[in-house]
Amino acid sequence: MINHDSEEDIGAPATRSRAAMDHVSSTSGEMIPHNSCEPTALAAGNSGNPRLAPSAHATEKLFPTCLVAVLRAAAFLCFAGWTWVHFYWEGPYGILLWQDGTYDFANRLGISWDEFVGTDNDEGWLQKWIARIRWLFLACTLLTVTVRPRSYVQMAGLVGGSLLLCVLSYAKYVASQRQLPMFVEHGGQILSPIVLVLALVLGPRHRITIGTAILAVVMTFAGHGSYAIGWWPTPGIFYGMTCVCLGVSYETANILLRGFGILDFAVCFALFIPGLRQPAAMYAVVWGLLTALARPVAGMSMSLNYWGADQFVHEAILRAPHFLLPLYLVILWRPRQEDEPAIAHTASGTDTNPCSTETTS
């Protein structure tokens, strides 16, 4: 004897399930096949983008993490290099502080001349305050590692670190007799912690984050290009690095530097052209890395203590934003690799999935 009630009970869930899936199909505008291919289609749909296969979806999930890691490395290495400068030597702030105005300010606070400049082996008020800046740079170096999204106090510390880099760059600008490219070329270093903070707050693919990173790269290459092309007096170290690293004469180095300067400005313009921006960013990565490494390559020698590593390696490290910020743009602008849609339609609404036998209504 056949129990018809049992058949209805068994069939009802399947009917309700199919009706529910039809409802989803009609509301989403996409076809969900009612057969053995359902788990695959649903798995693809649950990934957040039904057009991506699971492997592609895993790559997309790691993509923002990779971008933030590059920005974190740029800010970390920049602060680490300048921290070494402050601990091993002294920050370049003397040009700003060794002035009559600074002493007048100290005098109003009741600080005498001897206390201000120091006597014999005793450091004065000025040296003590300059020495304390090193700890701020060390703190900023650590913050680049520990900062996380919604760590707003740490982010504020990194913004303060960017202001420190700005003051440092201004001091170098004043020391260079106020040559504008000296300040502009430090734009990548000044903005590297800002780009990291923006990536954590807004996301690494937000237009403000991307725009700030492009600005940082443009400032760096425009500053370098202005010196290399000869619009401002080309620093002697540019000629020295070119002659030593490439083994060429001064005349050849002069011609090469002019060509490099033109390419620097070409990169600045190409970053704003969609079809050229990724190749331009790739060139910026290579050129930024080579120019950073040229400092220790040209300066280190077997005759120096530690081969001169203590005097020149940091010159490459603190310039990490010059090639890591372009690397961030290269990764960001990479061609998207998407698989064929897991769910497709014809113009008439027929599901082209070979596993499906039904059509949308």
DSSP string, 277-329: HHHHHHHHHHHHHHHHHHHHHHH--TTSGGGGHHHHHHHHHTTTHHHHHHHHH
C-alpha distances (whole Å) from 97 to each of 6, 8, 16, 295, 338 are 92, 91, 80, 28, 57
Contact predicate 208/200, CB 8 Å: no
* Local structure of 92: helix, strand or coil: coil
Name the strand (E) or helix (H) holding 122: strand 122-123
C-alpha distances (whole Å) from 24 to each of 11, 21, 355 are 20, 5, 19
Q: Which amino acid does the sequence have at 290?
A: L
Model confidence pLDDT, tens digit, residues 166-195: 999 999 999 999 999 999 999 999 999 999
Contact predicate 166/174, CB 8 Å: no
C-alpha distances (whole Å) from 78 to each of 137, 146, 188, 202, 280 are 10, 16, 10, 22, 23
What pLDDT score was predicted for residue 211? 97
What pLDDT score was predicted for residue 123? 73
What pLDDT score was predicted for residue 14? 44
Model confidence pLDDT, tens digit, residues 200-211: 999 999 999 999
Tokens 């937000």 appear where?
206
Sequence-ordered list of residues with C-beta below 8 angstroms from that of 165, at least 6 positions apart, any chain:
78, 82, 186, 189, 190, 193
Model confidence pLDDT, tens digit, residues 79-102: 999 999 999 988 898 888 877 777
What pLDDT score was predicted for residue 313? 95
* pTM attached to this predicted model: 0.77
C-alpha distances (whole Å) from 288 to each of 80, 84, 118 are 18, 21, 41
The dihedral through the CA atoms of 319, 323, 326, 328 has a sign that is: negative
What pLDDT score was predicted for residue 95? 86
What pLDDT score was predicted for residue 39? 44
What pLDDT score was predicted for residue 91? 87
294 burial level (CB within 10 Å; 0-12, 13-18, 19+): buried
Instruction: Of 170-179, 211-220, 297-306, give the lowest mean pLDDT range.
Output: 297-306
Q: How far apart are CA 60 and CA 47, in angstroms?
A: 10
Task: Record the tokens describing residue 355, joined without a space.
Answer: 């596993």
What pLDDT score was predicted for residue 51? 54
* Local structure of 37: helix, strand or coil: coil
* Local structure of 118: helix, strand or coil: strand
H and E: helices and strands count for the chain:
16, 2
**Average pLDDT estimate for 239-265:** 95
Model confidence pLDDT, tens digit, residues 15-74: 444 444 444 444 444 444 444 444 444 444 444 455 555 566 666 778 899 999 999 999
Tokens 């743009």 appear where?
329
What pLDDT score was predicted for residue 54? 59
Using pLDDT thresholds of 50, 70 and 90, give the confidence band for residue 75. Answer: very high
Q: How far apart are CA 314 and CA 277, in angstroms?
A: 30
Model confidence pLDDT, tens digit, residues 123-136: 777 788 888 999 99
- With vertex at residue 79, the alpha carbon angle to CA 77 and CA 83, rounded to the nearest 5 degrees, is 115
What pLDDT score was predicted for residue 52? 52
Tell me how far apart the terminal alpha carbons of the chain are, to the nearest angstrom: 39
Using pLDDT thresholds of 50, 70 and 90, give the confidence band for residue 119. Answer: low
What pLDDT score was predicted for residue 195? 98
